[in-house]
Amino acid sequence: MNVFEAIVLAVIEGLTEFLPVSSTGHMIIGSSVMGIASDNFVKLFTICIQLGAILSVLVLYFKRFFKSVDFYIKLIIAFIPSAILGVLLSDYIDALLETPVGVAISLLVGGIFLLFVDKLFTKNEVDDTDKMSRFTAFKIGLFQCIAMIPGVSRSGATIVGGMSQKMTRKAAAEFSFFLAVPTMFAATGYKLLKYIKEFGMPSGEELKLLAIGNVVAFVVGLLAIKTFIGFLNKYGFKLFGWYRIAIGALLLTLFACGYNLQII
């Protein structure tokens, strides 16, 4: 991986982390197109730079993280299901991360679902994350587990999970952002420790790439969050659904025609 490839993946991460289109899926596709998907450091990179994007949440919602102890209790409760499954299914998840065909199918199926989300949840009244119950937080955490399948979208799954519990699109999206903080911190730490145990400490050049990637993802993430909330409130999920369908269908067509993006 070179600096240009690192920046490209970081831009993809920053743009897609908070959108219901699957940041991991897009980075798998991006790294496959660039021919670097099989590199073990690239696999680490695609996880670790999510931390940069998530830090943008801390900046934009700084005051919310000092509001109450109950806020953290809800985050912990929502985080627990994916934390447990993440450890238990780590090797299986890593295998899924190497299958762009699976990502394409997930994008397509998820896109079809998003076309109908706005009509499924029309009577949502909970407009503030402070008003949600701890049990609601737990159920949203269960939805987050679905996103362990590459291409599903962590933000999409958790936002839909929140809306299924009578939360407005804005409130569900904000809790999705908040839940991303402990989730991505844990995922980054776990993946980094696993990488060090197996391959040793990243080299100086690799650490530089990680730093560049996190900075770029952070800056792009700031812009993406501000834009996404306004867009979601005004237009809903349908456009994201059509986008996922288009990308998924295009990829499946390419695979059917013999173009294999999976380079292992």
User: Looking at the predicted structure, is the pLDDT value of residue 129 above 50?
Assistant: yes
Q: Domain locations in the chain? A: 3-256
Kind and range of the H or E run holding 199: helix 169-199
pLDDT score of 264:
33
> Would you state the structure tokens that stand for residue 135, as one six-digit string?
């049990």
Question: Tokens 């997930």 appear where?
Answer: 106
- The model's confidence at residue 10, banded by pLDDT at 50, 70 and 90, is very high
* Averaged pLDDT, 33-60: 87
* Averaged pLDDT, 184-205: 87
Q: What is the pLDDT of residues 58-105, one digit of tens each?
A: 898 888 888 789 999 999 999 999 888 877 776 666 665 556 777 888
Return the amino acid letter for 61: Y
CA-to-CA distance for 43 and 210, rounded, in angstroms? 12
Q: What is the pLDDT of residues 134-171, one digit of tens each?
A: 999 999 999 998 888 878 888 889 999 999 988 988 88
* Averaged pLDDT, 218-225: 90
